[in-house]
A and B are shown apart, each in its own frame.
Chain A
Amino acid sequence: RKEVEQDPGPFNVPEGATVAFNCTYSNSASQSFFWYRQDCRKEPKLLMSVYSSGNEDGRFTAQLNRASQYISLLIRDSKLSDSATYLCVVKAGTASKLTFGTGTRLQVTL
């Protein structure tokens, strides 16, 4: 089983749509969870940390289900500029390495 599993997509959605990405992780000892965004041939950029209670940042909402080892990201009112690959990332401890999923590609169209 992959450490972090994501649907690679691509997800093609029109501007203004709501889109959701899911991710599962295998290490039950994981402590921290993140969504990063990566544009083509660029570095991963932190989008948001994911808290146990769920959290929202503008149009983005992240949820964590520790029992199911499942993380989600919801993007509302998609913009063209949201087109990117979204990386689900987990971390076992405070200073531990990040473990990345393969990413889910989003393409927002007019």
Chain B
Amino acid sequence: EPEVTQTPSHQVTQMGQEVILRCVPISNHLYFYWYRQILGQKVEFLVSFYNNEISEKSEIFDDQFSVERPDGSNFTLKIRSTKLEDSAMYFCASQGTQGRYEQYFGPGTRLTVT
């Protein structure tokens, strides 16, 4: 069964450093998303991406964040200058173009900012 993959599974970084989180969506999907979940809190939407551009973003997704689809398979989230409050699980999701338009999630990257 096709699945979304994410790397790394865990990233530890110092405040102010740049991080890039990587995702490989399901191969025939065209809609891509990033969500985050701070420990003990609900899953929150960050950004959606379709046809090589951002289609929607939340207020969390400020100028420190960017997304890219550098090739036909990867989808990346970059945080330019990490803050302590960026520590969270970051989930990538992808969605196809048929049926119920369900979103499938990758296993997540745990980001720890020290």
Question: Which residues does A use to contact B, with CB under 8 Å?
Answer: 32, 34, 38, 41-46, 49, 87, 91, 94-103
From B13-21, B43-51, B64-72, B77-85, give the one contacting chain A. Answer: B43-51
Kindly list chain B residues whose C-beta atoms are within 8 Å of the C-beta of A101: 42
Given the complex of chains A and B, what is the CA–CA distance between A98 and B56 in angstroms?
12
Contact A96 B43 (CB under 8 A): no
Specify the main secondary structure of chain B where it touches its partner.
Answer: strand
Contact B107 A43 (CB under 8 A): yes
Contact A103 B56 (CB under 8 A): no
Contact A95 B42 (CB under 8 A): no
Specify the main secondary structure of chain A where it touches its partner.
Answer: strand
Task: Give the residues from 54 to 68 in chain B that come closer than 8 angstroms, CB to CB, to chain A.
Answer: 55-56, 58
Kindly list chain A residues whose C-beta atoms are within 8 Å of the C-beta of B58: 97
Question: Which residues does B use to contact A, with CB under 8 Å?
Answer: 31, 33, 35, 41-45, 48, 50, 55-56, 58, 89, 91, 93, 95, 100-108, 110
Kindly list chain A residues whose C-beta atoms are within 8 Å of the C-beta of B103: 46, 98
Q: Which residue of A lies closest to B43 (CB)?
A: A100
A34 vs chain B, min Cβ distance (A): 7
A25 vs chain B, min Cβ distance (A): 13
The 10 lowest CB-CB distance pairs between A and B, nearest first, are: A97-B45, A43-B105, A100-B43, A102-B42, A49-B100, A95-B31, A100-B42, A94-B101, A43-B108, A44-B105
